[in-house]
């Protein structure tokens, strides 16, 4: 990388603390999710093919109205910021609720916000922001990178409109979404399309996942009718931004999950007695809990900085912030989820205990939207080192 291609040092002039409104939002969400989506409800829905808790989703979208937080008011949203979305994402990371937040709000809305100004894109954005439909984004392809370079599926224009043929994998909630936003190539370049869930030629196949609380699907397109979102060949910038925002959202989710497993480990260490004393009094357990606390607080610093960069409008700093947050937070979550099992001992390995649910989410998050190795290499490239 040349000197001119290097990024300037990251700015520290970004909001790191929650606003009063965001603090209130977090409190309301925590109370709502404790009632609507306890572990028993999560387990019930994760054992279904759809994996959807529509009751909790209705509460989030219709009752609390949080599904359009970052969408402008004129397009059916609340006119808030990505920071508001990050608050919800962190709380959902604490509960592992089986709701289409990542697919519908983080992915679909982020892509559509980058395509605003086009009538169909605006219409789709209003539809998902108001909770009238659930959307997802199909971009990943088997054996190819999760980046613009990895999009190989092509779209052809026919006498009756655009047609898609090919396959997409790892589509979050791909078998249950009402609208599928597809990244494909045309003669003009990378283009975004929208496909109805019941479109002829579309085959949606649920696939096994390690994390049962977040379902994925393989989508097969056989001459499927589609409509262009935005300008033909003009989707790359919106797609790249969506990937960065998704990485930051996953980092926020990792923080929520890591804080939960830390709290779980500490609570257990206080109440589990061995040899006549609480196991938390043993030095080995103290060290584990202290290391987990350090990991969680460090992860919060990275995630909250990235959230602040997006909220402040400092778009030039988003790629660097995303790489930093994703690499730091996913490693912290995975380490804490593993140590939580160790602190719980034998019970932590059982199917009945929640520890394995968080460990599996941490494992899945460590690969989604790029591994820590990928993001550290990307961080080095962005800094020119």
Give the pLDDT band of residue 349 (cuts 50, 70, 90): confident
How high does pLDDT run on average in the chain?
94
In this predicted model, what pLDDT tens digit does every residue of 185-205 receive, in sequence order? 999 999 999 999 999 999 999
Q: Which of 237, 168, 230 is nearest to 203 (CA)?
A: 168
pLDDT number for residue 1 = 35
Cβ–Cβ < 8 Å for 222, 204: no
Of the chain, the percentage scoring pLDDT greater than 90 comes to 90
Give the pLDDT band of residue 313 (cuts 50, 70, 90): confident
In this predicted model, what pLDDT tens digit does every residue of 338-348 receive, in sequence order? 999 999 998 98
In this predicted model, what pLDDT tens digit does every residue of 2-34 receive, in sequence order? 333 455 555 557 888 899 999 999 999 999 999
pLDDT number for residue 11 = 58
Cβ–Cβ < 8 Å for 130, 123: no
Structural domains of the chain sorted by starting position, each given as residue range(s) with its CATH number in brackets:
3-133 (1.10.540.10), 136-233 (2.40.110.10), 237-383 (1.20.140.10)
> Are β-strands 216-229 and 161-172 bridged in parallel, bridged antiparallel, or unpaired?
antiparallel
In this predicted model, what pLDDT tens digit does every residue of 67-88 receive, in sequence order? 999 999 999 999 999 999 999 9
Distance in angstroms (rounded) separating the CA atoms of residues 6 and 383:
6
In this predicted model, what pLDDT tens digit does every residue of 49-58 receive, in sequence order? 999 999 999 9
pLDDT number for residue 4 = 37
pLDDT number for residue 2 = 39
pLDDT number for residue 270 = 95
pLDDT number for residue 13 = 74
155, pLDDT greater than 60: yes
Question: What average pLDDT does range 341-361 have in this prediction?
Answer: 93
């Amino acid at each position: 990388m040349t000197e001119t291609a290097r990024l300037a040092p990251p700015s520290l002039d970004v909001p790191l603390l929650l606003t009063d409104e965001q603090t209130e939002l977090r409190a309301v969400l925590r109370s709502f999710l404790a009632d609507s989506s306890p572990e028993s409800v999560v387990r019930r829905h994760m054992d279904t093919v759809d994996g959807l808790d529509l009751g909790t989703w209705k509460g989030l979208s219709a009752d609390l109205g949080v599904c359009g937080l970052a969408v402008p008011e004129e397009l059916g949203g609340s006119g808030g910021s990505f920071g508001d979305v990050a608050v919800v994402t962190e709380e959902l990371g604490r509960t592992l609720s089986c709701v289409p937040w990542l697919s519908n709000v983080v992915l679909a809305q982020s892509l559509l916000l980058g395509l605003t100004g086009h009538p169909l894109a605006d219409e789709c954005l209003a539809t998902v922001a108001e909770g009238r439909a659930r959307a997802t984004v199909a971009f990943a392809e088997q054996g190819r990178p999760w980046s613009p370079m990895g999009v190989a599926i092509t779209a052809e224009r026919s006498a009756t409109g655009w047609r898609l043929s090919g396959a997409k994998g790892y589509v979050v909630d791909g078998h249950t979404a009402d609208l599928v936003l597809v990244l494909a190539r045309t003669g003009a370049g990378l283009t975004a399309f929208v496909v109805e869930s019941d479109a002829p030629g579309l085959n949606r196949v649920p696939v096994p996942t390690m994390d049962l609380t977040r379902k994925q699907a393989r989508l097969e397109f056989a001459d499927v009718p589609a409509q262009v979102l935005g300008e033909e060949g003009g989707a790359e910038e919106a797609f790249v931004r969506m990937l960065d925002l998704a990485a930051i959202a996953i980092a926020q989710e990792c923080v929520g999950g890591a804080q939960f497993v830390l709290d779980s480990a500490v609570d257990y260490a206080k109440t589990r007695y061995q040899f006549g004393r609480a196991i938390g009094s043993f030095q080995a357990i103290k060290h584990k809990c202290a290391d987990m606390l350090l990991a969680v607080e460090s992860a919060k610093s990275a995630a909250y900085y990235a959230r602040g960069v997006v909220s402040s409008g400092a778009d030039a700093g988003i790629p660097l912030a995303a790489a930093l947050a994703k690499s730091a937070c996913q490693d912290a979550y995975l380490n804490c989820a593993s140590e939580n099992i160790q602190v719980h001992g034998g019970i932590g390995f059982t199917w009945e205990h929640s520890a394995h649910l968080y460990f599996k989410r941490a494992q899945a998050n460590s690969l989604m939207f790029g591994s820590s190795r990928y993001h550290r290499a990307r961080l080095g490239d962005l800094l020119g080192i």
